[in-house]
Structure 1
Amino acid sequence: MDNRNGSTSWKIIKFIIVILLAFAAIVGGAGYYVWNALQPVQADSGEKRTIVIPAKSSPRSVGVILEKNKLIKNARMFTVYTKIKGEGSMLKAGKYQFTVGQPIDEIVQKLSKGEVYKDTITVTIPEGFTVEQIADRLAGKNLVNKQVFLHEADKGTFPYDIVKAIPGDTKMKHRLEGYLFPDTYEFKKGTTEHEYIDRMLGRFQEVWDTSWNAKVKQHGLSVHQAVTLASIVEREVRAEGERAKVAGVYLNRLKQQMPLQADATIQYMFGKQKERVTFADLKKDDPYNTYKVKGLPPGPIANPGKAALEAVVNAESNKFLYYVTKKDGTGEHYFAATYPEHLKNIEKSKANQK
C-alpha cells in the first residue's frame, strides 16, 4: 500500500473540512449579523419617538429615517426584511410614533397599515351645555384646569365682535355663556384654556350670519338678547320642528310684557339639574327667575346650537302665549293663545300620563 496516497487523501479531507468550517463560520457570522440587525434596539425607558415618513419614500429611505432615530439597528437589513416580507411597497407616508425597543415586526406592520400618529384630541361639546358643563368635560379629560378655564371665560380678552357686543352686566353668571359654540373640535395636545375658548368663540363668529342682525332687530332684540332667547329655546324644546314656534311664543310674551316663565331658567339658577321645580323655587329672588322677573334674563343660560339660533332669527309669527308638554313620549307640546285654553291643555297632558 502506498502511504503517500493515504497522506494526500487525508490532506484533501482536512482541506475540505477547513473550507466547510470556514464556510460555516462565514454563514454563521452572516446569519448572526442579519439576526442581530433585526433585533429591537435595547431600551428600558419606554421612550416614544415621533417621525415623519415623506410621501413616495422608498423602503431604504424609511429604514434610514428609522435608523437615524435609533428605532432600528440597520437600515439596509430593514430594506431586505420588508422585501422578503413582501411589504416594501406597502409602507405608507405620514407621522408615526414608535416606542424605542419596539420589535421590527410591529414597526413594519404599523407602517404598512398606515396607523399614523395623531397628536390631536377630539372633543364634542353638545348643544345646550353651559360654560360650567364645558369646563367639567374638558377638565374630566385632563385638558384644562376648570378654575382657570372659568376665569378666562369671565375675564379673558378675545378679539371678536360678538364678545365686544356683550353687555357688561354684572348679574350674568358667566360673561361668555351662550357664545362657546357647541361642536366637535380637534385640538392639539397642550392647548391652553384661553385657546380652547378662543376656538369656540371663533366658531360662533363663523356660524352667526351678520344678515341675522337686521332680522333680530325686527323682533325688538339685540344680538345678545337673541342669543339669550336661543339658549332658552335650546333647553326647553326637544322636538326640532317646534323651535321656531316656541321662539314665537316667547316673543309674544315679551311684547305683552308677560313673564317668560321658562323652567329652564330656574334650573340655571341652581347650576345643576333638579328633578322637580317646586313652587318655592319659583318665588326665589334671582335675575334668572323668569317667573318673577319680566323680560329676558341678563344673559344666556346655555350655549345654543345653530338650529336654536336660526329658530329665534326666523321665529314663527303666531298668537300663542302658552305651551305645555304633551307627556306622551314625543317631546312635543300643546300650544294655546289664551289661559283657559292652556288649562285645558294641561288636563290633556295629565291624561296622557295615565
Structure 2
Amino acid sequence: MASSPKPRRKRRIAGIVVSLLFFFLLIAGAGALYLWNGLQPTKKGEPVRIEIPSGTGTIRIAEILEEKGIIRSKEIFTAYLKYKGEGSRFQAGTYDVTPGSTIDEVIAKLNAGETVKAEMIRFTIPEGYTVKQIADKLAEAGYVKADEFLSLEKQAQKFAQNLPAGAEVTGDQLAYNLEGYLFPETYEMKKGSTAEEILERMTKETADKLATIPNLNEQLKSRKMTLHQLLTVASLVEKEAAVPAERPLIAGVIYNRLKADMKLEIDATVQYALGETKDRLFEKDLQVDSPYNTYRNKGLPPGPIASPGLASIQAALEPKASEYLFYVTKKDGSREHLFAKTYAEHLKNIEASKKEASK
C-alpha cells in the first residue's frame, strides 16, 4: 500500500529544518571559534614599543596593536571595546607592550597610561645668573647652541604671553630682553627639548613663582612700581647681597637712594655693562658708557641685570626700613656689609674694611 504524500512532505521539511539548524549551528560555532581565537593572546615575545599619538581613535589604536602583533584581530578588538564600554579612557604616549598579554591587560595598560618614561635632562640655573651665563651653561651641557638660545631670547614676544602683566621684554636699551625673567631653578625636561621649549618652561616658571606671592599686584600698586621695576631691584639685591639676611636691608638702601635722587652707584651694574666679572673695578670701568652704569646714570637700570630668586624678589617687595644710604663689603671673609647713613660714616667704613683686609 503506497504511503501518503503528506508524511513524505513532512519528513522532507523536517530534514530541511534539521539541515538548516545544523548549518546555523556550524556557522555559530565557527563564529564563536573565530571570536574566541581572536580574543586569545598572541604568541609571547619581547616587549614591543608602540606610539599612540594624541587624538588617535580606537580604530587606529586597534590597527597599531595588530600591526605590532599585540592583538590578533583589530575588528574583534574594537567590537570587544564596544561590548565592554572601553576605549574612551585610552591615553596617548609611548608604551612597551608584551606580546602574549591578554586583551584586558592591554586595555588596562592603555587606560592607566603606563607609558615609557621619557629620557630626561636635568639642569640647575643658580640665582644671579645672567641670560648669557644661562645660555653658556646649557650649551656646555650640550642641550642647546648658545647663539640659537640668545637669538630666540631676542624674540621675547614669543614668550611674553607666559609672563604676568607688568613684564617688559622689549626695549631699545635692554641688553637681553628676557633678563630677569628666566627663573633660577632646577629643571627636568625631556631629552631633546629645544631652546624654545626651555625658554617657554623657564618663563612659565617665573610666572608660577610670582603667583605664589600673596597680593603681588596690590603690593606693587602700593609701592607705585611695575613688575619690571620690582624684578630690576630684586636683581640688584641678588647680585649685591651675599648674605641672605642682608637682602631686605640692601633693598632698603636702594630705595632710600632712589628717593633721595642719588645715583645708585652699584658695582654689579658696571660689571653687567662691561660684560665680565672683575675682582676690582677701576675708575675707567666706572665710566663705561652704558644705560646700565648706575655710576653715570640716575635711577634704575633699563631692566634686571640677572635672574633674581624668590627671596630677593620678596626683599625688593618688602625692604627693611632704615636711614642707610651707603654700604661697603667687609674684607674679613664674611661677605657681610658695613652700612652708613652719611658719606662721612661710609668713608670710615671703607677704612675699617681695608684694615680688616690687611690683617
Indicate the TM-score class for this superposition, using the shorter chain for normalisation: 0.5 to 0.7
Partner of 1:199: 201
Partner of 2:128: 128
2:333 counterpart of 1:329: yes
Partner of 1:190: 192
Q: State, as a whole percentage, how many aligned pairs show the same letter.
A: 44
How many correspondences in the alignment?
Answer: 250
5+ residue gaps, structure 2, are 1-40, 50-93, 97-115
> What secondary structure does 2:264 align onto?
coil
Q: Counterparts of 1:164 and 1:225 in 2: how far apart (Å)?
A: 9
The Cα offsets for residues 118-158 of structure 1, whole Å up to 9 and x where unpaired, read as 60011101000000110011111111121111111111412
Partner of 1:152: 152
2:285 counterpart of 1:281: yes
**Within 5 A, what are the aligned runs for 1:11-160?**
64=44, 66=46, 119-156=119-156, 157-158=158-159, 159-160=161-162
- RMSD between aligned residues: 2.2
Change (3 A) 1:163 1:190: farther
Change (3 A) 1:308 1:64: farther
Partner of 1:104: none
8 Å CA contact 1:178–1:231 kept in 2: the answer is yes
Q: Counterparts of 2:165 and 2:130 in 1: how far apart (Å)?
A: 17
Q: Counterparts of 1:244 and 1:180 in 2: how far apart (Å)?
A: 22
* Equivalent residue letter for 2:298: K
C-alpha deviation, 1:186, in angstroms: 0.3
Of stretches 266-275 and 332-341 in structure 1, the one that deviates more from structure 2 is 266-275
C-alpha deviation, 1:161, in angstroms: 3.8
Q: Counterparts of 2:340 and 2:176 in 1: how far apart (Å)?
A: 34
The Cα offsets for residues 215-272 of structure 1, whole Å up to 9 and x where unpaired, read as 2333342110110111111011100000000000000000111001110001001212
TM-score normalised by length of structure 2: 0.66
Q: Counterparts of 1:240 and 1:95 in 2: how far apart (Å)?
A: 47
C-alpha deviation, 1:283, in angstroms: 1.4
Q: Counterparts of 1:64 and 1:117 in 2: how far apart (Å)?
A: 23
**Within 5 A, what are the aligned runs for 1:193-342?**
193-208=195-210, 209=213, 211-342=215-346
Q: Counterparts of 2:45 and 2:259 in 1: how far apart (Å)?
A: 70
Change (3 A) 1:68 1:123: closer
TM-score normalised by length of structure 1: 0.66
Change (3 A) 1:67 1:200: closer
Q: Counterparts of 1:139 and 1:296 in 2: how far apart (Å)?
A: 31
> What secondary structure does 1:297 align onto?
coil
8 Å CA contact 2:165–2:227 kept in 1: the answer is no
The Cα offsets for residues 40-86 of structure 1, whole Å up to 9 and x where unpaired, read as xxxxxxxxxxxxxxxxxxxxx9x9453657xxxxxxxxxxxxxxxxx
8 Å CA contact 1:131–1:302 kept in 2: the answer is yes
C-alpha deviation, 1:95, in angstroms: 8.6
Partner of 1:35: none
Partner of 1:82: none
C-alpha deviation, 1:164, in angstroms: 6.8
* Equivalent residue letter for 1:160: N
* Equivalent residue letter for 2:137: R
8 Å CA contact 1:219–1:251 kept in 2: the answer is no
8 Å CA contact 1:322–1:339 kept in 2: the answer is yes
